[in-house]
Structure 1
């Protein structure tokens, strides 16, 4: 063999090796399984517990029926797992303080906080940014709207019950809100009605209608006043104690009202809308004849304003969050209307909650990470990021003791996070003589 031929042969072999290596690199992202070594008959035999087909009598074997039952549970072929645990919640080992994989600690704190998480199924939860489908009542019962039904989850014992379904009321449910007494709940509907229910008696007691002309997506209470916001841009105060319930109408929004929050004092109301506007209304001005007499009209957000939260230790401090085109959390002095700070979070802000015991704020987000973020206020340094949801985290609610947060997402799961720890001193609930529902059953 001459030297020239050997040289050409060597070059050809080298080019072939380079080509093979290049192809192997190009296919690194693609997984092509090789099933040649798989024994499907044996795998099926093991899944069937060693028995397949029917028994001698021609009926299905117990192993096959168990197999079908397991498949039904795996693929959620029934709706029996509403607000049921996906997996048995794990408990941390004694003496271990490592963060779970769903929590990313951004900056170590002292002492380091353990944030456990548990998950419930919530099939039928609407992927609707402008609705408000989750609320946690005074008696430790969580209300969640799933399509045209409202379910109650008792966080004390883990029991679940259905309050009622609204298939005949132009479904679906678009908002829920517990009354201050923790016994009654307001349900906003797509047909513009608001229903009041007694949860102890599991009974519908009254329907508020005649104010809105389209769906009611936001609700909040101020003592005996139920405030509702609609897709028609109207905000209506209803006194649930009297027959002619509409006592005040606020006009200012020209898009759907998707956020409503009364301050702790009950003197100021914040409203956010799909028109990118944030309004501050003052109760002392509600007696004026002008229907558009707002205290402040704030135009700084560049997307829908749904997330609203009043600071628990500074009465005139309000936090607001903007939608996908805005992505900012803004802080306001509601006495002057001044914007104190604005932080770009990098994603849609769906909900906001303050920590009652520390100067911290919790936000929930959409694309891309669908996370919850704990911020230190006022520095707005990230303390932790909580992962686990696979779609945008639309709704959050806080437990009566202020420690646990429930989050509901478009992935149809409800997660509980012990994000705010345990308060050092338990604060007794304030005593009130509030009984607005004494004669409500007589008012229709």
Structure 2
């Protein structure tokens, strides 16, 4: 396991020196280039983890092995907000992170424990054993938190009552590494190392649709405009994006890519996809005809996670121990989720 070599995130370069992100404009046929590079020693090269997330205040949550940071993209400042009580024998690390809101952070660890930190008071306000193994994925809709684990289960948790678990979804036969709610909060989609995608209706806590890739499914995102459309991507042995209409159980499109799919976000009228082995690229597809509109170099190692904020700024973190920050959507308030 890699160890954290520094107690901060180091700003290496500003690609568009002197310009604010909101001023960066481009057309998709032009090269997509990051305007900031961050050196992040301590990144765990693990496909299944989800270790970055934005809030609405231009702050990025980053987990580097056993340390949790918040980096402010406007000021450039990075602050350590939590460090696990580590033991060489235990090999503790943070495996998933999420902003519950702009001032509350939740994260899961390798032992199946979730912790919640109030950023206003800088205090740990909750610590709870949720799973019997590491927590790879976190998602929230309204007051419902979903946690996905290597114990193959998804727990649904009411954030208003810390002692209440709404229900447990025990449908996968492999490590759960991708979770997303649709916009209305009626459906939850989960992807796992058993190569399956399972859609469940939260009104009945019951699965109603499942389909398969040929590898683990970590990349999973509902269309923020159409609640019934979901995009999923498979790992190294699959390299495929599937667009599914869950209202009529119809496959809209199946896109063959050339690399492991590690992340998907919807932005304006495009789908942004990040890749791992072998090319580590970022690709874009238009959401009308599903044609590829661009393919750009991403990282020197595989891209592990992507996060997009509501201003159209994307952050990607790679096994090259770099975070790259990109201006992806031209609109001030991007249509994304």
Q: TM-score, normalised by structure 1?
A: 0.69
Q: CA RMSD in A?
A: 2.4
CA contact (8 A) 1:113 1:421 kept: no
The offset of 1:243, in angstroms, is: 4.2
> What does 1:21-420 correspond to in 2, within 5 Å?
79=6, 82-91=8-17, 108=29, 115-168=33-86, 170=90, 171-179=92-100, 181-209=101-129, 211-286=130-205, 293-299=206-212, 301-355=213-267, 357=268, 359-401=269-311, 403-420=312-329
Q: Residues 150 and 178 from structure 1, CA distance in 2 versus in 1: closer, same or farther, beyond 3 angstroms?
A: same
- For the residue of structure 2 that corresponds to 1:294, the secondary structure is strand
Q: Which entry has the higher C-alpha Rg, 1 or 2?
A: 1
C-alpha distance in structure 1 between counterparts of 2:175 and 2:334, whole Å: 37
Q: Residues 143 and 427 from structure 1, CA distance in 2 versus in 1: closer, same or farther, beyond 3 angstroms?
A: closer
CA contact (8 A) 1:115 1:419 kept: no
Q: Residues 248 and 127 from structure 1, CA distance in 2 versus in 1: closer, same or farther, beyond 3 angstroms?
A: same
CA contact (8 A) 2:51 2:62 kept: yes
Q: Residues 427 and 172 from structure 1, CA distance in 2 versus in 1: closer, same or farther, beyond 3 angstroms?
A: closer
- For the residue of structure 1 that corresponds to 2:147, the secondary structure is strand
Q: Residues 243 and 393 from structure 1, CA distance in 2 versus in 1: closer, same or farther, beyond 3 angstroms?
A: closer
CA contact (8 A) 1:98 1:114 kept: no
C-alpha distance in structure 1 between counterparts of 2:300 and 2:35, whole Å: 15
List alignment gaps of at least 5 residues for structure 2: none
Greater RCO, 1 or 2 (C-alpha within 8 Å, sep 6+)? 2
More helix by share: 1
Q: Residues 317 and 257 from structure 1, CA distance in 2 versus in 1: closer, same or farther, beyond 3 angstroms?
A: same
CA displacement 1:310-344 (0-9 Å, x = unmatched) = 11211111000000000000001122222111000
List alignment gaps of at least 5 residues for structure 1: 1-76, 100-104, 287-292, 429-444
The offset of 1:388, in angstroms, is: 4.4
The offset of 1:240, in angstroms, is: 2.2
Give the equivalent residue in structure 2 for 1:421. Answer: 330
C-alpha distance in structure 1 between counterparts of 2:239 and 2:182, whole Å: 24
The offset of 1:78, in angstroms, is: 6.0
C-alpha distance in structure 2 between counterparts of 1:365 and 1:92, whole Å: 30
Equivalent residues, number: 325
C-alpha distance in structure 2 between counterparts of 1:351 and 1:318, whole Å: 13
C-alpha distance in structure 1 between counterparts of 2:280 and 2:31, whole Å: 21
Q: TM-score, normalised by structure 2?
A: 0.90
C-alpha distance in structure 2 between counterparts of 1:78 and 1:135, whole Å: 22
CA contact (8 A) 2:69 2:81 kept: yes
The offset of 1:156, in angstroms, is: 2.4
